[in-house]
Amino acid sequence: MTTRTHAEWLAAAERVVPVTEHHIRGAAEPGGGATFTIRSPRDGSELAKVADAGTKEVDLAVEAARYAFDRGPWPRLAPIERGRALLRIAEIVERHREELALLISLEMGKPVVEADAIELRAVINTFRWYGELAGKLADEVPHTAPDALALVTREPVGVVAAVVPWNFPLTMAAWKLAPALAAGCTVVLKPSERSPLSALRLAELLVEADLPQGVLNVVAGDGPTVGRALGRHHEVDALVFTGSTAVGRHFLRYGADSNLKRVWLELGGKSPNLVFPDAPDLGAAAATAAWGIFFNQGAMCTAPSRLLVHRSIADEFTDAVVRRAGALRVGDPLDPATQMGPLVTLEHLAMVRAHIASGLADGARLRTGGEPVQHELGGWFLEPSVFDQVGPDMRIARDEIFGPVLAVLTFDTEEEAVELANASDYGLAAAVWTANLSTAHRVSRALRAGTVWVNCYEEGDLTVPFGGVKQSGNGRDKSVHALDKYTELKTTWVQL
């Protein structure tokens, strides 16, 4: 973990020279000359003008990936060799860990110590885990009659387009890239137009990993142009996306309107955090509830943005969360003492504030926060915000805000808690706090969510899958199950 001081991070930021060109066929590609501006949310300053891809650049990237898949060595390597390449990637990222953490902090506002300790750790672990897994997978030989031999093999799906968000720009990229590459696919990565700098630098660094040309390509640009072109491209075999439910709908349509490519979606969430009065440690539960919603400025699809508390402990528990929120240090993400940085753009700040205004208009009580802070820095900072007296039909209880805004609701019975928790279009994650094993099992089974944590939140590792149900998407990242998105099953029947 980094030990740099605030002054040292500021000095490092002054020396940053961002990579601003696309990465196609293993080299920089300037594109047609159009650019877009990246501004740092910490102070509004211009970080870079980045090459803005159009359909021409998308075609070049897909063509490179197509050639590398159809005619190049990557899909034909022994899996253990692809695994060794992923292990080299992990080593390269480890060597440049602080540089990449700084880019993430500058471009999207995550506190730099969290970018280093949490995001870059996840990136390194992901490439390492799939690198170690690649040579250990096996196909199937079903039992048949003695006069036949059946083989069930997994083969790489082909060219994968990976479209990732700004809130965890490299973690989400690694969750897509590592299993896709391990499976033998080639990839075109589109980072968010709000946070392309870390992905473009990663692609430049990975030249050292000796990937064949065209195996990994990165194009920068916006969703309506680049995302749409990838979604509708007939030479893309599968598209994986993490982002909003609204954009996910577009990708499903693009796939249907083009070549019926596989479309795998990890979408929004409005995750419920259920606290029963017999929770083993109410203090730890309150601390975790506050950490979960305010971590990463609330920009986390699994954020426990709905706190469901038993009425008998609601006042005391909410007070504890409010105290935690009020004590959080909001400030410069390059300051190691900062606990919550700025929101990613001025427009995003305005959107979150509009949700806060809607909560007040709907009759909820704002217990703390709600106002912009740190005006002298010039960035887009917001106080951690907690509402109680929230009704289940209020917009702040139903909409994914993607910001540091917590809605507290109360329940009286286990059945009511489950009903409130499931009264959402989303189903990404949930948590249950109770010391009763039967309650934990009953409620966990009843919750419609891809992940349920018991007496914890955001715990797990790469051995377990991640993804949602309902309008939170389909398919899974992480674990062996992620390979389902990047492989096709083939049956070979041999008559003896």
Q: Tell me the catalytic residues.
A: 266, 301
The tokens for 421 are 């928790």
39 within 8 A of 4, measured Cβ to Cβ: no
Based on C-alpha coordinates, what's the Rg of the chain?
23
| Backbone φ and ψ of 270, nearest 5° | -140, 70
Q: How far is CA 250 from CA 223, 237, 243, in A?
A: 10, 17, 11
For 6-64, give the secondary structure using H, E and C. HHHHHHHHHCCCCCCCEEECCEEECCCCCEEEEECCCCCCEEEEEECCCHHHHHHHHHH
Bin 370: left if φ > 0, else alpha if -120 < ψ < 50, else beta: left
Is 224 exposed, middle or buried (CB count within 10 Å of its CB: 0-12, 13-18, 19+)? exposed
| Closest alpha carbon to 238 in 194, 300, 184, 170 | 184
| Closest alpha carbon to 485 in 154, 164, 211 | 154
Cα separation of 289 and 406, whole Å? 9
The tokens for 373 are 């802070």
157 within 8 A of 172, measured Cβ to Cβ: no
Show Cβ contacts of residue 274 under 8 Å, excluding neighbours closer than 6 positions: 308, 411, 417, 421, 430, 431, 432, 433, 443
Cα separation of 15 and 35, whole Å? 22
Cα separation of 336 and 334, whole Å? 6
Reduced to 3 states (helix: H, G, I; strand: E, B; else coil), residue 153 is strand
To the nearest 10 degrees (0 to 180), the angle between helices 121-133 and 79-95 is 160
